[in-house]
Structure 1
Amino acid sequence: MEGEGDQVTRKRLKSALEDNGGTYEEKAAFETNDVAQVAASEEMELNVSHILEKIENFTHLVSELLESGKAIFKELSNEFEERMIMIHKEQVEKWQEEIKQLRLLDASNEEAHALLHNARCLLQNAHIDNDS
């Protein structure tokens, strides 16, 4: 059973053949009619039949290859997207950890600054008391 993608690919391939002057079925039928009028041999008809079968088999093979290529690219695209999202998440988490560390450092610095300020005030008060 052919999938939708396989059918679309076959239509594209047949369209490409039509751009060259008609489908291979139409060309074969036209040639067969002309040849029949010229009293074609069964061997020639058999050869034409084999060539048409080769064309159909080749078209089917190309169609399958295109579909498998699409599937591979889709899988790679999904893996790429997942990896990019994971990299983004990891980087954001690193930066959030940096922010947390900076805030902790800032709080520690503020606490030290407050202690030093209090110590300075005490020393100034002690120095003023000694001068009086």
Structure 2
Amino acid sequence: MESTESETVRKRKKEAMEESKTEFRDKANNEFTEEETEMNFSGSEDMELGIACIFEKVDRFNHLVSELLESGKSLFSRLTNEFEERVLMIHKEQIEKWQEEIKELRLLDATNEEMNTRLVNAKCLLQNINASH
């Protein structure tokens, strides 16, 4: 489900970038056409070359933004995985420590119970010896 959502987001971003690029070109061409009509001259080769250079810059910029988005997404995904692994490892270590503490407490309790039983038995023996004298 997550990959479907991320793919949908990626498609939307790509479509938005394409729309932006197309809108930019259309707007630039419309402005150029309006200016050309107002001034009654056709564009020179230098101007056409300048416009083509700007379009190339837009394409390179869009490509750069796309790469940045992908690398950022990849970085965050990797960091998320590392964070999740680390938290799970810390959790496992802490649970193991507490289990070891429980084991030690049970061992201590068993030892105390054994000692208590021996003390009760010794007390009974002493009372029997005192009662017989």
Q: Which TM class, normalised by the smaller chain length?
A: 0.7 to 0.9
CA distance in 2, matches of 1:87, 1:12: 42
Alignment of 1:10 onto 2:14: yes
User: Residue 67 of structure 1 is aligned with which of 57, 65, 70?
Assistant: 70
CA distance in 2, matches of 1:49, 1:35: 17
Amino acid at match of 2:124: C
The unaligned stretches of length 5 or more in structure 1 are none
Contact 1:10-1:60 at 8 Å conserved across structures? no
- C-alpha displacement of 1:28: 2.0
1:32 corresponding residue in structure 2 = 32
CA distance in 2, matches of 1:10, 1:59: 9
- C-alpha displacement of 1:43: 1.0
Contact 1:10-1:59 at 8 Å conserved across structures? no
- C-alpha displacement of 1:33: 2.1
CA distance in 2, matches of 1:115, 1:13: 83
The unaligned stretches of length 5 or more in structure 2 are 1-6
CA distance in 1, matches of 2:55, 2:111: 83
Matched residue count: 123
- C-alpha displacement of 1:120: 0.3
Could you tell me the percent identity over the aligned residues? 51
TM-score, with structure 2 as normaliser: 0.82
CA RMSD of the aligned region, Å? Answer: 2.1
CA distance in 1, matches of 2:31, 2:57: 17
CA distance in 2, matches of 1:12, 1:64: 15
CA distance in 2, matches of 1:14, 1:104: 70
